[in-house]
Homo-oligomer: A and B are copies of this chain.
C-alpha cells in the first residue's frame, strides 16, 4: 500500500489511500499577496505567524512554505529568496508542530528550505521539464524527501489528460533512475478551471484513478483552481474535493481557513442593521456582533471545505467509527443535527415500506 511519509521533528503526516485526506495549507505564499510580500521584504513576519497558527487550527496537517517575494530593493530572487525561505521555515517550525512543504521555483530556495527544515519535508515541486528534472531530483535523492510532481513538461500543460498521465509516468520513471521510489512521488495531475474547460472535473477524476491504479502514486492538487472565475467558489470547491477523494485523491494544497469578516463587510452589515431600526447596546464588540447576526467571525475559522473533507473521510472509511466527524461537529457550527432526525426517520421509513 502506497504511503508517503512527511515529517517534522515531532509529527508525521502520511498520504495514503487508507489515510484521512492530507490538507496542505497554502496560505504562506506571497504570490498575489502584495501586502504580505511588502511585509516580508520589510522583515515583518506577523502575517506568516497568524497564517501558520490559523491553518493548523483549521485542520491543516502540512504547511506549504513559499518565499517567492520579488524584492523592490533587489530583483534577483536567486539572491533574496533562499535566505527568506530559511527564515520563514525556522520561524514556522518554531511556532507549529506540523511538517512543512518547501515550495519554490528557485533552486537555491528549495535547498535552503531543505537545509532548514527538521524531519522529512515535502518538496514542491518537480515537473516533466528536463531542466527541472535534472535540478530537483538530485535534491530529492540527497535529502531523501518526498516530492510533488506536476504533470506539465517542456511542451507546457497539455489539455489532453493522456498526455498529462504520460508526463507523470515519465517523472516516476526518471525518479526511479535516481533510486527514488514511487511512494515518494505525489503527482499533481493539474486542475484546470471548470469555467474554462467543461471536462476539467471529469479529467481530474479519471486521471487520479489511473495514477492510483496504474502508477500506485499518491496525488495532490491546487484545489481552488477548479472554481477560478466562477461565482460561489466555495460551493464548487465543497463538491469537487469529495468527488476527487472518491476517485482516490489523497491530498490537496488549499486554504483550510475561512476568511474572517473584514471591516468593509462589518460596516455594511452595521449600516443595514441601523437602517432597519435596530438599536445595538453601545458596548457590543465586533465579534459579538458577527455572532449575533450570523455574519461568521472576525477571527479565522475552519472553512466549509474542511467540513466537506471530513465528511468525505467518513464516507471513504478513513474515519474509524466516525470519531473525527463527531468530534468536529461538537463545535458550535454543528447546527440542525437534531432537526435532521425526523427526516432521517422518514428516509428510513421509506426504505422499510418500499
Contacts and interface: CB of A to CB of B under 8 A. Distances in A.
B235 A66 contact: no
Contacts of A335: 232
A115 interface: no
Interface in A324-350: 325-326, 329-330, 333-337, 339-340, 342-350
Contacts of A279: 278-279
A60 to B, nearest CB: 15
A342 to B, nearest CB: 7
A35 to B, nearest CB: 11
B354 A105 contact: yes
A58 interface: no
A125 B353 CA distance: 10
A57 to B, nearest CB: 18
Nearest to A317: B198
A232 B351 contact: no
Contacts of A321: 198
Number of chain A interface residues as a range? 35 or more
Given A292-B293, A294-B293, A336-B232, A314 B201 contact: yes
A342 B32 contact: yes
A68 B353 contact: yes
A239 interface: yes
A171 to B, nearest CB: 13
A69 to B, nearest CB: 12
B278 A222 contact: no
A309 to B, nearest CB: 8
Contact of A344 (B201, B233, B354): B233
Nearest to A281: B277
Given A231-B334, A246-B246, 8 more contacts: A26-B350, A124-B354, A150-B354, A188-B354, A232-B329, A232-B336, A242-B242, A243-B245
A65 interface: no
A294 B296 CA distance: 10
Interface string A15-44: 000000000001001011100000000000
A167 interface: no
B198 A347 contact: no
A165 interface: no
A93 interface: no
A61 interface: no
B273 A239 contact: no
Interface string A272-295: 110011111100100010001111
Contact of A314 (B125, B194, B228): B194
18 contacts: A32-B349, A105-B354, A125-B354, A148-B354, A195-B322, A199-B317, A205-B246, A222-B347, A224-B347, A225-B347, A225-B348, A232-B334, A233-B343, A238-B239, A239-B242, A239-B308, A259-B339, A293-B294
